[in-house]
């Protein structure tokens, strides 16, 4: 039986769906450490690019291009899911779960689920945008100015809107609940098997959307980089 199935029918599973207290502790340490490192790295990128955006002297070192602004969006989304999901982990799950370091309530659980969903979907979108930027610059001969004028604004709006809708939709259905050491789009059942919060249909649809967007990102980025590689090889062969 998968951990998701255990969650669906037995309420809060023991030890955050791990094999015991030792595994639960190890998972928490690894997750918190990796989340902290990710937040630190992405915060440095955000601070660097925002610093350039705020400077008004117009020097070359203080200007930003679409690539840097895409990295700003990607880093911001990474911070949201790395902090709320990886770093905070079980701290934001309800105390009633009995999980290691669980210190939250349903409100903090919903908050974690919202920002996790937003961060993941936003990151997927910006990964696609990053590959697109490199593709059109190298393989199609675009300039960053042309990219900024024709694509950048609707691109940012689309990525953030999709991520926001994905994160907001479960809220009216009480769809964010504790599951295996974190809070995600999951139904919550009591020990008698009665549905308390959320919806199993919502959970199914959301996982389908999550994996579909993830695979679209992987396929697009892979094909884009392959196209860039072929373009560079052709340019080298002409020289």
- What confidence tens digit (pLDDT) does each residue in 190-234 have? 877 889 899 999 999 999 999 999 999 999 999 999 999 999 998
Q: Is 195 helix (H, G, I), strand (E, B) or coil?
A: strand
Q: Residue 52 is encoded by which pair of tokens? A: 């350039």
C-alpha–C-alpha distance, residues 155 and 177, integer Å: 31
pTM of the model: 0.87
Query: What value does the mean pLDDT take over residues 39-44?
Result: 96
Q: What was the pLDDT predicted at 34?
A: 95
CA distances to 8, 48, 65, 69, 152 from 53, in Å: 47, 9, 10, 9, 16
Banded pLDDT at 1 (limits 50, 70, 90): very low
Confirm if 227 and 140 have CB atoms less than 8 A apart. Answer: no
- What confidence tens digit (pLDDT) does each residue in 136-188 have? 999 999 999 999 999 999 999 999 999 999 999 999 999 999 988 899 999 99
Token pair 């590689």 is found at 229
Using only C-alpha atoms, what is the Rg of the chain? 21
Tell me the CA end-to-end span of the chain in Å, nearest whole number: 59
């Amino acid at each position: 039986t998968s951990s998701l199935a255990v969650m669906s029918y037995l309420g809060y599973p023991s030890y955050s769906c791990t094999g015991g207290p030792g595994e639960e502790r190890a998972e928490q340490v690894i997750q918190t450490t990796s989340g902290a490192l990710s937040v630190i790295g992405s915060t440095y990128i955000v601070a660097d690019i925002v610093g350039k955006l705020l400077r008004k002297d117009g020097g070359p070192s203080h200007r930003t291009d679409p690539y840097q602004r895409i990295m700003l969006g990607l880093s911001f989304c990474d911070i949201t899911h790395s902090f709320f999901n990886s770093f905070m982990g079980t701290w934001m799950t309800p105390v009633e779960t009995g999980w290691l370091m669980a210190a939250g309530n349903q409100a903090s659980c919903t908050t974690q689920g919202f920002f996790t969903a937003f961060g993941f979907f936003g990151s997927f979108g910006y990964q696609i945008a990053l590959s697109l930027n490199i593709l059109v610059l190298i393989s199609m001969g675009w300039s960053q100015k042309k990219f900024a004028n024709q694509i950048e604004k609707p691109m940012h709006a689309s990525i953030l809107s999709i991520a926001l809708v994905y994160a907001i939709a479960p809220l009216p259905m009480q769809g964010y609940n504790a599951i295996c050491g974190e809070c995600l789009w999951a139904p919550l059942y009591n020990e008698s098997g009665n549905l308390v919060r959320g919806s199993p249909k919502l959970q199914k649809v959301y996982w389908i959307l999550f994996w579909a967007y993830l695979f679209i990102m992987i396929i697009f980025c892979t094909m884009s980089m392959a196209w860039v590689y072929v373009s560079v090889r052709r340019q080298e062969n002409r020289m």
